[in-house]
């Protein structure tokens, strides 16, 4: 029956199991370890011949429900909850890359993902090539005999380029590569990469999935075969697993994901339309706009465009920073998906690990700003932006 449920129903009901007390809300199993009935039972569980919990780093009932739920939402066989979004990225890559292997990734990714790839992985003899994933020929040209993984975000952080998942999956299968997609900006309610042939989907569950700005978490969705390595080799030994309390908070947040996303998207569409015609905004990056190259993938790939907008001011770096500092209503913060509207400056914040040259190749300019459109009244959000842009105009005249 669960397979026939709509996603709005799955976010509430999928993955749930009955509990001894009959509690409607998932019980929080705040225990580090689990008691065995006998030494023989403990040995059997460690040997894998008997199912059951051993130690929360290896599995926990509360965390397991979250994993079942996100797997049902993404359409994957299994999922693993991690201590952060970066732990999810790391687990997916470490499970599939070894010394001497090669990774192809998009040249615009979250700053810490970029740093992991270009600084940490290379220390262990893993080769990395970054290319523009809007260019099919560039992706294919980057593939080598030792390439094992192809990785991207879509939409891209921060400037919301949209990549064709069917194409990426086809290239990966043609060359026997593992395809990995960061689906954080979309969530499975707006985009399901596995349905397009992608092998592994990751999330920073800190963002929309939790939705309340009080948890750091990640999720990895993949096949049972992939999960054996991700969960019981990488995460077991690295230890970057999610606490049951944080899993419980995300389960609570997921119940309102569908209604929250609709408001985020509604607000963002109106804000993007407002910004596109403002004389002090030189460019707006948001896929619902017909000027955006990713517009054609709305429908075939993405149900809606999400709640993140990037835009370039017709202003200098100094003026752009002043605009952020003087902007009412918005909080200056680097996350997204919270109830509050947030603004940040990618070049100096989330994407600061990039050099100037690398930022230029990735299209991250000094006057590029990223906003996470919140759940406030859209009239108040637009009024705040209008007030900030008016001040920018006055400052330029002085």
Give me the helices (H) in the chain, please: 7-13, 39-47, 61-74, 85-94, 111-115, 121-123, 136-142, 165-174, 224-229, 236-238, 244-254, 257-276, 317-326, 356-362, 378-397
Tokens of 337: 């998906």
Query: Considering 10, 207, 304, 370, which one is annotated as catalytic?
Result: 207
Do you know the residue count of the chain?
398
Instruction: Output the DSSP codes for 200-219.
Output: EEEEETTTTTT-SS----EE
Residue 30 CB neighbours (<10 A): 12
- Residue 334 gets which letter from DSSP? S
Query: Considering 53, 55, 57, 270, which one is annotated as catalytic?
Result: 57
Report the phi/psi class of residue 53: left, alpha or beta, with left for phi > 0 and alpha for psi in -120 to 50: beta
Query: Considering 45, 69, 101, 110, which one is annotated as catalytic?
Result: 110
Tokens of 333: 């913060």
Cα 10 from chain centroid (whole Å): 19
Query: Considering 182, 246, 338, 366, which one is annotated as catalytic?
Result: 182
The SS3 of residue 67 is helix
The residue with tokens 């200098």 is 316
Instruction: Output the DSSP codes for 77-137.
Output: SEEEEESSHHHHHHHHHHTT--TT-EEEEES---HHHHHIIIIIHHHTT-EEEEE-TT-HH
- 182 an active-site residue? yes
The SS3 of residue 55 is strand
- 110 an active-site residue? yes
Burial class (CB in 10 A: 0-12, 13-18, 19+), 35: exposed
Distance CA 398, CA 34 (A): 68
Distance CA 208, CA 304 (A): 14
**Exposure on the CB side of residue 220, measured as CA atoms within 13 A:** 32
- 314 an active-site residue? no
Which residues are catalytically annotated?
57, 110, 182, 207
């Amino acid at each position: 029956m669960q397979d026939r449920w709509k996603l709005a129903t799955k976010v509430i009901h999928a993955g749930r199991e009955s509990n001894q007390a009959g509690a409607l809300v998932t019980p929080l199993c705040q225990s580090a370890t689990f008691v065995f009935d006998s030494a023989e039972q403990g040995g059997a569980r460690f040997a894998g011949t008997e199912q059951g919990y051993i130690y929360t780093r290896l599995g926990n009932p509360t965390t397991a429900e979250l994993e079942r739920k996100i797997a049902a939402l993404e359409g994957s066989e299994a999922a693993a909850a991690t201590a952060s979004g970066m732990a999810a990225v790391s687990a997916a890559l470490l499970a599939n890359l070894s010394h001497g292997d090669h990774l192809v990734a998009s040249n615009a990714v979250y700053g810490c993902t970029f740093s992991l790839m270009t600084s940490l992985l290379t220390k262990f003899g893993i080769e990395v090539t970054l290319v523009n994933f809007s260019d099919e020929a560039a992706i294919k040209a980057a593939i080598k005999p030792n390439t094992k993984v192809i990785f991207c975000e879509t939409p891209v952080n921060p400037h919301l380029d949209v990549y064709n998942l069917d194409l990426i999956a086809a290239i990966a299968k043609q060359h026997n590569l593992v395809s990995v997609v960061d689906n954080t900006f979309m969530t499975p309610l707006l985009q399901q990469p596995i349905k397009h042939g992608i092998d592994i989907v990751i999330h920073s569950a800190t963002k929309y999935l939790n939705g309340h700005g009080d948890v750091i978490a990640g999720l990895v969705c993949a096949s049972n075969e992939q999960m054996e390595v991700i969960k019981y080799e990488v995460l077991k030994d690295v230890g970057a697993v999610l606490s049951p309390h944080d899993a419980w908070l995300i389960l609570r947040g997921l119940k309102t994901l569908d209604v929250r996303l609709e408001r985020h998207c509604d607000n963002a569409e109106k804000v993007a339309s407002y910004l596109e015609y403002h004389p002090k905004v030189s460019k707006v990056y948001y896929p619902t706009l017909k000027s955006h190259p990713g517009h054609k993938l709305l429908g075939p790939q993405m149900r809606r465009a999400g709640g993140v907008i990037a835009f370039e001011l017709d202003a200098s770096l100094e003026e752009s920073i002043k605009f952020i500092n003087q902007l009412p209503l918005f909080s200056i913060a680097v996350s997204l998906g919270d109830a509050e509207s947030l603004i940040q400056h990618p070049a100096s914040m989330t994407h600061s690990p990039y050099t100037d040259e690398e930022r230029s190749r990735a299209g991250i300019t000094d006057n590029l700003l990223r906003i996470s459109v919140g759940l406030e009244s859209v009239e108040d959000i637009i009024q705040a932006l209008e007030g900030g842009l008016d001040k920018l105009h006055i400052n330029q005249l002085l």
